[in-house]
Amino acid sequence: MSIDKTSSARHAAVDAPGAAEGAVAAVDPRLLVQQEGIAGYVTEFKRKIKAGELGSIPVIVGLILIAAIFTSLNSNFLGPGNITNILVQMAGTGLIATGIVFVLLLGEIDLSVGSVSGLSSAIFAVLAITHGMNNILALVLALASGAVAGAIHGFFFARVGVPAFAVTLAGLLFWNGLMLQVLGPDGTINIPSDNVVYKLEGYYFSDVAAAYILALVAVVIYFWTAFSQNRRRQQAGVPARPVSDILMRTVLIAIVAFGVAIIFNQYKGLPLAVVIFVGLLVITDFVLRRTTYGRKVFSLGGSVEASRRAGINVTVIRITVFMIAGFFAALGGLFLASQIAAANQGAGAGNLLMNSIAAAVIGGTSLFGGRGRTWNALLGVLVIISIQVGLGIQGVAAPIVSMVTGAVLLATVVIDAITRKTQRSAGRA
């Protein structure tokens, strides 16, 4: 990355301002343009490693390590049943972590998501099962409760100016108390197997075709969007990816999609929980990276002052981000209730809050705002649930699981801190 040292071209442009537009070549030779083909990937990869842009590499390496270690201990770890199990179990915590990614992008934190998730499951169970309300209506109200809780946090943070840490800490206590109040003296409400929430994690598309068709649709949509985007870039005359690049990525995605589909079909079929989780990740990723709303979230994470001067309504964005976090916490809570087929007093307690924040961070979302993707939530939660399930198979007790998860989180933030240092020295922090 060299800055312009040759000033003759610029002076020429000053002398003849009318000719400036035509005189400047469309492509600057110093641009960081990737070479075509495999060689281009290798040089690009080397440059990224040197500059400390590890992205998702540490997490993926970590996942491979985890898989290798647990498979060597027990060959069933990578069996279709266990993989399906891990992927279904991760949906609840993963959805909560998705909401956390939004809040972390602002450089803030939401400590209330565990309690909000518990409250949502309690509200649903009481309305739908105790009072016999229409299931869908009860589901909508439970999700709305999460968004309302988030709006309250957002109001006190964005309008009143209380630190998000303190507001959501108060929320943690308050919503947990409200959940216990809603559940009443019984404490536990079982969710029958014909209930819509039970089906969130309990339903599988047993038809073999379902998984394959979905995989095919995903691959085709990916290829089509990438391809048409590229065509638009070419038509507009801005640098576009080589077609070989798009094909390579498509093949990679096809391998993952069909590989997972085959594994699902060897067990019970395509789990509904995975469809919803991945579908929501696609939507949230699109919202964050391709819409004006997402751009505003990122810009707030980068510089509040710059955002304000650019005319962005800071208060509205902050409140809506906390609403999104609350909504996803509520949705995750319903998935977790589905997992144990009950809403009980322990919902949202224990390690849930810390696991969901850890998942977002392990996945690669920066704690300092402005950097991250919702896919980070999937990678991070995959690490955490894999460790839990793997150690569970080995019969390792919960205290050890907690300690191992803590160590992994520490390792992640250490890697994050080191790469940030490297990035700073490479001028990319």
Partner 1 sequence: MTATPVLALRGVSKRFGAVQALTDVDLEIHAGEVVALVGDNGAGKSTLVKTIAGVHPIDEGVIEWQGRQVSVNRPQDAQHLGIATVYQDLALADNIDVVGNLFLGREIRRYGIVLNEVEMERRSRELLDSLSIRIPSVRIPIASLSGGQRQVVAIARSMLGEPKLVILDEPTAALGVEQTAQVLDLVERLRARGLAVLLISHNMADVKAVADRVAVLRLGGNNGVFDVRTTSQEEIIAAITGATDNAVTRRASRTAEVQK
HSE-CB of 294 using CA atoms within 13 angstroms: 14
Residues of span 359-388 touching partner 1 by CB under 8 A = 369-371
Report angle CA 243, 248, 251 to the nearest 5 degrees.
Answer: 125
Between β-strands 204-205 and 342-343, what pairing exists: parallel, antiparallel or unpaired?
A: unpaired
Terminal C-alpha separation, the chain: 14
Q: Segment near partner 1 (CB under 8 A), from 94-102, 204-212, 233-241, 252-260?
A: 233-241
Q: Are 121 and 195 in contact (CB under 8 A)?
A: no
Question: DSSP readout, 200-225?
Answer: HHH-EE-SHHHHHHHHHHHHHHHHHH
Between β-strands 204-205 and 270-271, what pairing exists: parallel, antiparallel or unpaired?
A: antiparallel
Give min distance, CB of 420 to partner 1, in A. Answer: 11
Q: Are 362 and 193 in contact (CB under 8 A)?
A: no
Give min distance, CB of 121 to partner 1, in A. Answer: 32
Return the number of the residue (3 or 160) whose C-beta is nearest partner 1.
3
Q: 270: helix, coil or strand?
A: strand
Report the residue from 208, 293, 402, 404 that binds partner 1 according to the rule CB under 8 A.
293
Helix (H) / strand (E) element for 190: namely strand 189-190
Question: DSSP readout, 373-406?
Answer: -THHHHHHHHHHHHHHHHHHHTT--HHHHHHHHH
Going from the C-alpha of 378 to that of each of 94, 109, 305, the distances in angstroms are 6, 19, 32
Return d(Cα 159, Cα 222) in angstroms, integer.
40
- Nearest Cα to 372, choosing from 147, 108, 169, 172? 108
Report the residue from 8, 26, 75, 132 that binds partner 1 according to the rule CB under 8 A.
26
Residues of span 183-222 touching partner 1 by CB under 8 A = none
Give min distance, CB of 318 to partner 1, in A. Answer: 16
Report the residue from 46, 50, 232, 421 that binds partner 1 according to the rule CB under 8 A.
232
Return the number of the residue (75 or 292) whose C-beta is nearest partner 1.
292
Give min distance, CB of 321 to partner 1, in A. Answer: 16
Give min distance, CB of 416 to partner 1, in A. Answer: 15
Report the residue from 56, 295, 340, 404 that binds partner 1 according to the rule CB under 8 A.
295
Q: Segment near partner 1 (CB under 8 A), from 226-234, 265-273, 329-337, 384-392?
A: 226-234
Q: Which residue, chain included where needed, has tokens 């929320």?
A: 171
Report the residue from 72, 292, 395, 397 that binds partner 1 according to the rule CB under 8 A.
292
Rule CB under 8 A: say whether 159 interacts with partner 1: no
Report the residue from 46, 50, 290, 421 that binds partner 1 according to the rule CB under 8 A.
290
Residue type (1 letter), 427: G
Per-position x/- string for 297-336, each x denoting binding to partner 1 as judged by CB under 8 A, each - no binding: -xx-xxx-xxx-xxxx------------------------
Return d(Cα 258, Cα 275) in angstroms, integer.
14
Return the number of the residue (153 or 371) whose C-beta is nearest partner 1.
371
Token pair, residue 178, equals 């409200």
Return the number of the residue (212 or 245) whose C-beta is nearest partner 1.
245
Give min distance, CB of 157 to partner 1, in A. Answer: 20
Return the number of the residue (33 or 73) whose C-beta is nearest partner 1.
33
* Count of Cβ atoms closer than 10 Å to residue 152 Cβ: 20
Q: Segment near partner 1 (CB under 8 A), from 25-33, 35-43, 89-97, 325-333?
A: 25-33
Which residues make up the interface to partner 1 (CB under 8 A)? 1-5, 7, 9-11, 13-14, 17, 20-21, 24, 26, 28, 30-32, 229, 232-233, 236-238, 290-293, 295, 298-299, 301-303, 305-307, 309-312, 369-371, 427-429
